[in-house]
Amino acid sequence: MSDRFDIAVVGGGPAGAAAAWKAAAVGARVVCFDKAAFPREKPCGDGITPRAASLVAAMGLGASLTKFHQIDGIRVFSPRRWQASWPEREGIPRTAYVARRTDFDQMLITHAAATGADVRERTRVVAPIMERGRVAGVVVRDEMGTERIVRADVVIAADGAYSTLKRALAPASSINGYTAVAIRAEMDACRDDDNYYEIYTRLWHENRALPGYGWVFPLGDQRVNIGIGYLTSYRKWRQVNAADLMANLMADLPSHWQLPDLGSLRRSKALQAWRLPTGFNTWPPFLPGIMFAGDAAGTVKPGNGAGISKALQSGMIAGECAVNSLQTDGPDDFSDYAQQLSQLWGTEYRMGRVVHRVIGNPRAMHIANTLLDQPRARRTTIRVLYGKDGLASYTEE
């Protein structure tokens, strides 16, 4: 048996849900597959940045964000403590959030379905369909093990860092950003519900400075998301024990928080690791008949590892380009998609890849950490990230 759609989206996370919503909103026949059943867990720092919040609002879900824990700025321990609130930026709110991915992703995929996308959960995409040198659909397998062919004029692969479709198609890439390894757990903490993302800039492996950082993101109701992430540009990254780094970070946090031990987090399966492809790793991000979005294209921001805003935006652009292709020259060449991503992030990501390569050297990373702990360097960092307005709320201890 087979189905036919204008657009088939593979993956129901932020990139896939945004792509499905965007295309369905203008009347395209859209199907979106996900191997899981929503709500489902997804390892993540759970941070919804102000830019991500603006994109959610563009989807018509801005009011729904208020149910999540609000964040007013960022606090950094380098190890000196300093902080700043979100600045005024055109089109971007001065609030961020921390939202469990079980809730956040459910909200997005439900919205895509309400807009008209045919969302099919518990359905695994196992292979692309190739016809005359282009992707013409996918083979899917439902929870009963039944396989069927789904034909589509355009396929959008938003199936994550371990994309099944990308592995099957093996596209050559002229860009290969570095990957970050991350591990996190959500847990109770005996502390007040704070309104700042907390960043801990110093990670060590065998007394060598690692390119990465630790975080504590408050979820509200005296729960927190605690984790660490580091780059594979560090030559000995395979020798790093991420769980040990996590334990070290937790040991350095205030004892009155009464955090659980790592063993109990493991037993409850709260401790989860994943990889974040940064700075593009599929370029161009398309082949005839298919576009790659979100983690499948390596769109995670090199500067801080933020992935949700980039997933949402790349998904929206892919959905729009898919619809445009059906109305114009056809779905064989998605150069417009690549051009938009390049205009948005090309320069930033190119610089990010260079920085990642440099700080993969522990000595360079140590120098960077030392500089970041100097008042002038901190102020410069805030100015670069948020402009002069960012300094208005800057405080240090």
Q: CB 34: neighbour CB atoms within 10 A?
A: 25
pLDDT tens digits, 305-345: 999 999 999 999 999 999 999 988 778 899 999 999 999 99
What is the spatial distance between Cα 150 and Cα 138, in angstroms, rounded to a whole number? 5
What is the spatial distance between Cα 34 and Cα 15, in angstroms, rounded to a whole number? 12
Q: CB 221: neighbour CB atoms within 10 A?
A: 8
- DSSP structural state of residue 194: -
What is the average per-residue pLDDT within 241-248? 96
**Which residue has tokens 């779905």?**
331
202 pLDDT more than 70: yes
What is the spatial distance between Cα 279 and Cα 300, in angstroms, rounded to a whole number? 6
Please report which confidence band the pLDDT of residue 397 belongs to, taking 50, 70 and 90 as the band edges.
confident
Please report which confidence band the pLDDT of residue 156 belongs to, taking 50, 70 and 90 as the band edges.
very high
pLDDT tens digits, 71-116: 999 999 999 999 999 998 899 999 999 999 999 999 999 999 999 9
CB contact at 8 A, 362 and 209:
yes
| Confidence (pLDDT) at 174 | 95
Q: How far is CA 219 from the centre of its chain?
A: 18
Q: Looking at this protein, which amino acid is placed at residue 121?
A: E
Please report which confidence band the pLDDT of residue 235 belongs to, taking 50, 70 and 90 as the band edges.
very high
Q: How far is CA 343 from the centre of its chain?
A: 19
385 pLDDT more than 80: no
The DSSP-derived string for 7-68 is: EEEE--SHHHHHHHHHHHHTT--EEEE-SS-SS----S--EE-HHHHHHHHHTT-GGGGGGS
Instruction: Give yes or no for a cis peptide into 39 (omega within 30° of 0).
Output: yes
**In terms of C-beta density within 10 A (0-12 exposed, 13-18 middle, 19 or more buried), how is residue 207 classed?**
exposed
Locate 96 and state its tokens.
């961020």
387 pLDDT more than 80: no
Residue 276 β-bridge partners:
180
Please report which confidence band the pLDDT of residue 54 belongs to, taking 50, 70 and 90 as the band edges.
very high
Average pLDDT, the chain: 95
What is the average per-residue pLDDT within 349-362? 97
What is the spatial distance between Cα 86 and Cα 105, in angstroms, rounded to a whole number? 24
CB contact at 8 A, 353 and 279:
yes
| Confidence (pLDDT) at 2 | 55
**In terms of C-beta density within 10 A (0-12 exposed, 13-18 middle, 19 or more buried), how is residue 172 classed?**
exposed
What is the spatial distance between Cα 381 and Cα 397, in angstroms, rounded to a whole number? 16
Cα–Cα nearest to 246, from 233, 261, 231, 234: 261
**In terms of C-beta density within 10 A (0-12 exposed, 13-18 middle, 19 or more buried), how is residue 386 classed?**
buried
| Confidence (pLDDT) at 1 | 42
Look at strands 134-141 and 196-200 and give their pairing. unpaired
Burial code of 85-122, b = ≥16 C-beta within 10 A, e = fewer?
A: bbbeeeebbebbbbbbbeebbbbbbbbbbebbbbbbbe
Q: CB 150: neighbour CB atoms within 10 A?
A: 22
CB contact at 8 A, 98 and 69:
yes
| Confidence (pLDDT) at 382 | 84
Which of these ranges, 38-42, 183-187, 391-395, has the smallest mean pLDDT?
391-395
Look at strands 208-209 and 212-220 and give their pairing. unpaired
Kindly report whether the global pTM for this prediction surpasses the value 0.75.
Answer: yes
Please report which confidence band the pLDDT of residue 259 belongs to, taking 50, 70 and 90 as the band edges.
very high
CA-based angle 116:121:127, to the nearest 5? Answer: 100
